[in-house]
Amino acid sequence: MATNKSQRGGIDLSLLARPEIQKVMSEINNLSPGIGQILAIHGDSGTGKSSLARSLLRNLRGWSAYSMSATSDMSTEEVINRINSVLTESDRDDAQPLSDDPLVAMVGVVDVPFASTLVHIDDAHLLQASTVEAIGAALSTLEDGRFIVFLTGASNAPYLAYADSIAQLTPMKVEEVQTFALSDVGARIPMELAERIQSMSGGYLGKVHELLTALPADSWNNRNVTVKVPQQWIKRWEEKSQGLSKETLLVLQAMSCVDEPATLDLIEHMVGTEDVDWAIEAAIDAGILTVAPGVFPPVLEFGAVEDKSTVGGLVGPARRRAFHKGAHKFYAARGNRAQALVHRARSLNSYDENGSTELAKTADSLGSAGRWKEAAEFYRLASELAATEAQQRQYELN
């Protein structure tokens, strides 16, 4: 029987190989005796910071490594007491503090000759700035041991100001998605499929994992595998979309059908009405849509990248064609021939030799201009509309 079991042990190989993460590893391993440092890795929720930290700790050699998580209600004393607890609980259950001052006690545990100690604190953005400052001051008093406080958390948070070294973890690139798929479900996926997964997930490690495990592992070795929207995404969408009006849902469905930036004018043409402002406002109020800052005309985006694919899966073929017909009119009126051609092709429900030929000619022009990725997309659309199998194979080859 096919299995969905994930090979979690090697899940972060692609992230560990990044130069910025290798730099962090090097800083840890090359730390001199009598030195204490705060190191930080930050990034958006879902980029895999926590999982990466666990892998990083597993790959350390010669270090005593411990982990804990911060909470928003922890005082400085509570944080330091928690650090002292994780430092001593593995040695003896009845360990007594070396000082009544938690910070002095912490330094006393780690500041001994030949000791190399690392404490990982997850969700570090929940720490108070005064807490991280106090930890940094205590680290400066070390004389013999090596001590690192390794923080992972969200970006734009106070803890980063006190770190001696900082690395940002960004979403995975397409090549990293391929490496991830091999370690996660044991599948060697082609670049085109990795691009699809990266687009649907935004490259966020947790979301890529949810996509990969939505199908049995051996399904990914099939030639024409279709990426499935995970049940977790559908359930989350059902919960967050409760109470939305039909007008708002229609706007969201239209947005899910386009790859380009979604402006108000484009959406109005797609849904066939100019009265979409309040429908959009309702989605913004619900936290489903956001407005890209500093862009004119305003561009709307899904707040959670997976919502776009989830909503798109709920759009039937007739409505999808109607959306693309509206988008075709919008771009044709603006004189954007290439985009108008794309949406005209997507609005058709049968083979079209003239449309296929026109798309292929546009692809030829884009390729001659060195715009290879755009050319590939036009050839793909041309192959879908091709009237004969021979023509289809030729466009696929191009």
The DSSP secondary structure of 144-196, one letter per residue, reads SSEEEEEEEE-SS-GGGGG-SEEEE-PPPPHHHHHHHHHHHHS----HHHHHH
Note the pLDDT tens digit of each residue in 171-212: 999 999 999 999 889 999 999 899 999 999 999 998 999 999
Contacts of 119 (CB under 8 A, 6+ apart): 65, 66, 67, 68, 83, 86, 87, 148, 149, 150
Would you state the torsion angle of the CA atoms of residues 305, 373, 356, 268, taken in this order, to the nearest 10 degrees?
A: 40
* 12 belongs to a structural domain: no
Q: Are 201 and 256 in the same domain?
A: no
Q: Within 10 Å of residue 239's Cβ, how many Cβ atoms?
A: 8
Q: Are 66 and 151 in the same domain?
A: yes
For residues 323 and 332, is the Cβ–Cβ distance under 8 A? no
- The token pair at 224 is 């024409």
Is the predicted pLDDT of residue 343 greater than 60, yes or no? yes
Percentage of the residues of the chain whose pLDDT score is greater than 90: 65
- Which structural domain, as residue segments, surrounds residue 65? 31-168
* 333 belongs to a structural domain: no
- List the beta strands (DSSP E) in 6-71: 36-42, 64-69
* 17 belongs to a structural domain: no
Q: Are 228 and 288 in the same domain?
A: no
Q: Are 245 and 128 in the same domain?
A: no
Q: How confident is residue 10, by pLDDT bands cut at 50, 70 and 90?
A: very low
Mean pLDDT for 60-86 is 94
175: left (phi over 0), alpha (psi -120 to 50) or beta: alpha
Domain end (from 168, 200, 221): 168
Mean pLDDT for 274-297 is 90
Q: Are 146 and 181 in the same domain?
A: no
Task: Count CA within 13 A, CB hemisphere, residue 377.
Answer: 14
Q: What is the CATH number of the domain that holds 76?
A: 3.40.50.300
Number of domains in the chain: 3
Give pTM, 2 decimals.
0.81
Task: Count CA within 13 A, CB hemisphere, residue 294.
Answer: 0
Mean pLDDT for 108-129 is 96
CA 6/CA 3 separation, integer angstroms: 9
